Amino acid sequence: MRILEATEKQGFVTIENLADEFGVSAQTVRRDIIALSEAGHLQRFHGGAGAIGRSETLRLDHSHKERMNVADKKLVAHEAAELVPDGASLFLDVGTTVEYTARQLNSRHGLTVFTNSIRAALAFDPKRHNVTVLGGRMAGKDGSLVGEEIVMALSGLRIDYALIACSGVDDKGRVMDFDLSKIAVKKAALAISDRKLLLATQSKFGRTALSTVAMISEFDEVISGQGGGRLHR
């Protein structure tokens, strides 16, 4: 079944994209998704479907994610850290790529860091940097925090850099993620930043997720871990 192949490959697929790809109506795709979901072959979501267990595993099994694509994540971290000067103010998103980046950024001096990632915050030496963990509710085993309190706190700030991670970048250039609460925080950080950096290893490209964070063209730098192959806007 082509729908199952697509969900296994991409993690999440939309009814609209499947209808376009297969040349059938959205109603036909929706009917097939319902049947496959009832048979236990995939998970239904609003407007699409995902591979069984995939989104939950990738979001909650932090130790598994931390071991994936390590070399690429370290390249992304190194490239991102090169772009952030001493004394800068920045927002750090959640995720393992961001955590690798935080460790690299710790070698800088005098950073003012805002983050909703407990793990990213712990990578910094508080004697050299001013680090604020934006408080909210726990959103998973990765130490991420979400909530309206974080969005409101960010709305009153102006920062130099926002370093944003994602679950996928689809073929239409949409930067996407699965968790709507995390997406709200990402959008709030992008709105208050002078420069917007997307941290996305090559494994994220050509994949889709539940909802859009921003278009890739809205980022000043797209850092993909290709040994300096940054894309500039």
What is the DSSP code string of 41-103?
Answer: SEEEETTEEEETTHHHHHHH-HHHHHTTTHHHHHHHHHHHHHHS-TT-EEEE-SSHHHHHHHH
What is the per-residue pLDDT for 11?
67
Topology of domain 2-52 in CATH is: Arc Repressor Mutant, subunit A (1.10.10)
The pTM of the full predicted model, rounded to 2 decimals, is 0.74
Residue pair 87/110 in contact by the 8 Å Cβ criterion: yes
What is the per-residue pLDDT for 51?
67
What is the per-residue pLDDT for 93?
98
CA distance 33 to 218: 33
| SS3 (DSSP) at 206 | coil
Query: Which pLDDT tens digits describe the chain residue by residue (233 residues)?
Result: 688 877 766 667 788 888 888 899 989 988 898 888 877 777 777 677 776 654 444 444 555 555 566 888 999 999 999 999 999 999 999 999 999 999 999 999 999 999 999 999 999 999 999 999 999 999 877 889 999 999 999 999 999 999 999 999 998 999 999 888 999 999 999 999 999 999 999 889 988 888 899 999 999 999 998 754 445 44
What is the per-residue pLDDT for 56?
42
| SS3 (DSSP) at 152 | helix
Alpha helices in the chain (DSSP H): 2-10, 15-22, 26-38, 54-60, 62-66, 70-83, 96-105, 118-121, 148-155, 180-191
CA distance 219 to 43: 31
CATH of range 63-232; options 3.30.457.10, 2.40.50.140, 2.170.120.12, 3.40.50.1360: 3.40.50.1360
CATH 1.10.10.10: which residues of the chain? 2-52
Name the DSSP class of 203.
G
Start-to-end Cα distance in the chain: 39
CATH 3.40.50.1360: which residues of the chain? 63-232
Closest CA to 231 of 223, 143, 188, 141: 223
What is the per-residue pLDDT for 123?
97
What is the per-residue pLDDT for 178?
86
The string of pLDDT tens digits covering residues 17-31 is 888 888 999 899 888
Residue pair 92/113 in contact by the 8 Å Cβ criterion: yes
